[in-house]
Amino acid sequence: MNTDLLIKNAQIVSEDGIVEGSLAVTGETIAAVLRKDDNVNAKKVIDAGGMLILPGAIDTHPHFFEPGPTYREDFLHGTRAAASGGFTTILDMPNTAPPVRDEETFGIKYKAASENSLIDFALWGSAMPTNISKINRLHELGCIAFKAFTLDAGPDFDFSGDFAQIEAMRAVKEFNGIYGAHAENGDIVKNSTALYRDKPWNLDTHEKARPYYAELSAINSLLLYAKITGCRLHICHMSIPEGAELIKIARENGVDVTVETCPHYLLLNKESAGKAGTFAMINPPLRSKERMEKMWDYVKDGTIDYIGTDHAPYTVPDKLPEDGDLWKANAGAPSIDIAVPALFEEAVINRKMPLNKFSALISTNAAKRFGLYPKKGRIAPGVDADFMILDADDPWVYTRAESFSKTKVTRFAYEGRRVACKVRATYLRGQAVFTDGKIMQEPGYGRFLRSEKLKNGL
Ligand SMILES: [Zn+2]
């Protein structure tokens, strides 16, 4: 066998199980997963020294703020950071400025991402009450799924009341697409926030202002509307174990729903991240340690399908408003470069999650749901050679100062966190995009992805 690249002496987390051996890559695709490589003639050989090879991670939920406030993050920096953290595909969120709401705004986003993204990218479209008639066109253009907010999302994005949620689901159902939502009940959040607004802001009062039942109520309604409309539903960034219980019941009742959680709901909680103050202000909020621990049960039993980082870096003025009113701070935090290794440590090393389940959590499940499978999301002959080499025993200390991300602010909750394992290299379509601390490809190496399933009209 002649091949371009042979990575020897690796533990390969392939779709058929863990293989101790070699990965052969020809051009952009995986040529073979081999236990023995005696007959392979490779142009380049790398010894992985027993390290792991996992499928390239897929982030279902980053915010790169482009077009818009790119001083916080953009495709160039955001996807470099993503590659350094083992991601090979991102599904960029549509609530930019302007949001991806029609053909013109899709074009702006598409151009920015095509010119700058280092890794493969898909684009979410918006599902706002003001653009329901444009959803079908956005689908034709290739939007991978459609995002709504069930509560006030600021001036650039129109939130959806219950009726608009149903109407938009009907529009998405027309082509059997996916409707995703930020799930928090706006009425509960507004009124509960009013009760705490005069108290000092901290992670506890923030969480009480946006209590778990605000999220649970919105998830409950969305599941009901998905049942009524038959639309495929994606619950974004779920932070509460109670939501997982509801989703289990809904699945038994025939609702086609998947759910993402974020690294911060598994790695941080309102007690542990208190020192970071508004730099750990995220919505839905960080919950209690007890809820965080329970979230792991649903990750391990597979109720939670995948990980979206909700990566959203902010600057110091964004987080510390000039007038000192912390309730006005922007919610969101960066995590795209620490998510995979930190989750690997917690899931695989500390909680004994099997490697194939971890691989499904960070890659395969999202690829399947969003129609990127079988080319993405797995290690098998004939598929895109998207993978990471991960050293399970290479401790390091995270600092934003060394991140490829645009905002280098070092006050976020992960700052100084010791992580037991490290992403040593990330390969996308057969080429290294990141190796040993360096970015290896030019901006624009990433390609636009659309759902294979929907493309074929299935
Ligand atoms: Zn988000």
Q: pLDDT tens digit string along 177-214?
A: 999 999 999 999 999 999 999 999 999 999 999 999 99
State the distance between the two ends of the chain, measured CA to CA, in whole angstroms: 36
Residue 428, pLDDT above cutoff 90:
yes
**Cα 93 to ligand 1 centre (Å):** 7
**Cα 141 to ligand 1 centre (Å):** 22
State the number of CA atoms in the 13 A half-sphere of 167 facing the CB: 14
| Its pTM surpasses 0.95 | yes
**Cα 95 to ligand 1 centre (Å):** 8
Mean pLDDT estimate for the chain:
97
Local structure of 418: helix, strand or coil: strand
C-alpha span between 57 and 363 (Å, rounded): 5
**Cα 282 to ligand 1 centre (Å):** 9
The answer to the question of residue 5 being in a domain is: no
If pLDDT is split at 50, 70 and 90, which confidence band does 129 have?
very high
The answer to the question of residue 406 being in a domain is: no
Q: At 91, give phi and psi (nearest 5°).
A: -115, 95
**Cα 183 to ligand 1 centre (Å):** 11
Helices vs. strands in the chain: H and E counts, helices first: 15, 19
Residue 144, pLDDT above cutoff 90:
yes
If pLDDT is split at 50, 70 and 90, which confidence band does 94 have?
very high
The answer to the question of residue 306 being in a domain is: yes
Domains identified in the chain, total number: 1
Please list, residue by residue across 31-55, b when 16 or more beta carbons sit within 10 angstroms of its beta carbon and e when fewer do.
Answer: bbbbeebeebebeeebebeebbbbb
The answer to the question of residue 183 being in a domain is: yes
**Cα 6 to ligand 1 centre (Å):** 38
If pLDDT is split at 50, 70 and 90, which confidence band does 37 have?
confident
**Cα 320 to ligand 1 centre (Å):** 20
Residue 178's CATH number:
3.20.20.140
Residue 68, pLDDT above cutoff 80:
yes
What are the pLDDT digits (tens) for 298-308?
A: 999 999 999 99
Residue 458, pLDDT above cutoff 60:
no
Q: At 29, give phi and psi (nearest 5°).
A: -120, 160
**Cα 10 to ligand 1 centre (Å):** 35
Q: Which residue has the tokens 């705490």?
A: 196
pLDDT on residue 154 = 87
**Cα 295 to ligand 1 centre (Å):** 19
Q: What percent of the chain has pLDDT over 90?
A: 96
**Cα 181 to ligand 1 centre (Å):** 9
Residue 454, pLDDT above cutoff 90:
no
**Cα 18 to ligand 1 centre (Å):** 33
The answer to the question of residue 220 being in a domain is: yes
**Cα 395 to ligand 1 centre (Å):** 29
**Cα 1 to ligand 1 centre (Å):** 45
Strand ranges inside 161-298, DSSP E:
178-182, 232-235, 257-261
Mean local confidence (pLDDT), 98-105:
97
What are the pLDDT digits (tens) for 358-370?
A: 999 999 999 999 9
And the tokens for 98?
Answer: 């302007």
**Cα 199 to ligand 1 centre (Å):** 26
C-alpha span between 75 and 78 (Å, rounded): 5
**Cα 40 to ligand 1 centre (Å):** 45
And the tokens for 410?
Answer: 């070092």
Residue 377, pLDDT above cutoff 50:
yes
DSSP state of 156: T
Ion ligand 1 neighbours, Cβ < 5 Å: 310
**Cα 21 to ligand 1 centre (Å):** 39
**Cα 35 to ligand 1 centre (Å):** 41
**Cα 152 to ligand 1 centre (Å):** 13
The answer to the question of residue 451 being in a domain is: no
pLDDT on residue 457 = 45
**Cα 165 to ligand 1 centre (Å):** 18
If pLDDT is split at 50, 70 and 90, which confidence band does 455 have?
low
Residue 453, pLDDT above cutoff 90:
no
Mean local confidence (pLDDT), 32-42:
93
Q: At 264, give phi and psi (nearest 5°).
A: -70, -25
And the tokens for 273?
Answer: 């991240």
The answer to the question of residue 379 being in a domain is: no
Q: Give the angle subtended at the CA of 338 by the CAs of 367 and 234, to the nearest 5°.
A: 35
Mean local confidence (pLDDT), 27-52:
95
**Cα 62 to ligand 1 centre (Å):** 7
**Cα 29 to ligand 1 centre (Å):** 32
Beta bridge partners of 125: 146
Q: Give the structural domain span for 322.
A: 56-369
If pLDDT is split at 50, 70 and 90, which confidence band does 16 have?
confident
pLDDT on residue 132 = 98
C-alpha span between 395 and 407 (Å, rounded): 24
**Cα 309 to ligand 1 centre (Å):** 8
If pLDDT is split at 50, 70 and 90, which confidence band does 451 have?
confident
**Cα 203 to ligand 1 centre (Å):** 18
pLDDT on residue 336 = 98
**Cα 259 to ligand 1 centre (Å):** 14
Comparing CA positions, the residue from 359, 381, 392 lying closest to residue 88 is 359
The answer to the question of residue 261 being in a domain is: yes
C-alpha span between 80 and 94 (Å, rounded): 20
